[in-house]
């Protein structure tokens, strides 16, 4: 059985045992979280159904790879390079009820 959950402004298709990286969430490593904002569960479409819940365990907190941003304007010798690393939380899906 699979489910589609929404967190951090994004949607994720998850199954039991999956490890996903989501936008940084508050919680200690090893703690459990529940998601009740489901979009799809199995073959049924359940928009914001409170009866189905997805449980997940926090595996780790970290930072993603560095992404470089380059800006350029022609004719005036303007070049700028900056970088960005996004914080994430890795979650292991333990159950879909």
Domain that holds residue 71: 2-96
Total domains in the chain come to: 1
Query: How many of the other CB atoms lie within 10 Å of CB of 59?
Result: 15
Who has greater pLDDT, 83 or 45?
A: 83
Separation CA 60–CA 92 (nearest Å): 10
Pairing of strands 54-63, 19-23: unpaired
Instruction: Tell how far CA 58 is from the center of its chain.
Output: 12
Q: What is the pLDDT of residues 11-40, one digit of tens each?
A: 999 999 999 999 999 999 999 999 876 777
- pLDDT 10s digits, 62-90: 999 999 999 999 999 999 999 999 999 99
State residue 49's pLDDT score.
61
Rg (CA), the chain: 18
Q: CB-side exposure of 69: number of CA atoms within 13 Å?
A: 4
Q: Examine the pLDDT at 45 and tell me if it is beyond 70.
A: no
| Euclidean distance between CA atoms 53 and 25, whole angstroms | 18
Q: How far apart are CA 95 and CA 13, in angstroms?
A: 13
Give mean pLDDT, residues 43-59: 77
């Amino acid at each position: 059985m699979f489910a589609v959950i929404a967190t951090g402004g994004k949607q994720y298709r998850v199954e039991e045992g999956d490890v996903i990286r989501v936008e940084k969430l508050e919680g200690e490593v090893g703690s459990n979280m529940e998601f009740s904002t489901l979009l799809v569960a199995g073959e049924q479409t359940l928009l914001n159904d409170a009866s189905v819940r997805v449980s997940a365990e926090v595996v780790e907190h970290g930072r993603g790879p560095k992404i470089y941003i380059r800006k350029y304007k022609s004719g005036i010798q303007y070049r700028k390079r900056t970088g960005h690393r996004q914080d994430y939380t890795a979650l292991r899906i333990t159950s879909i009820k």
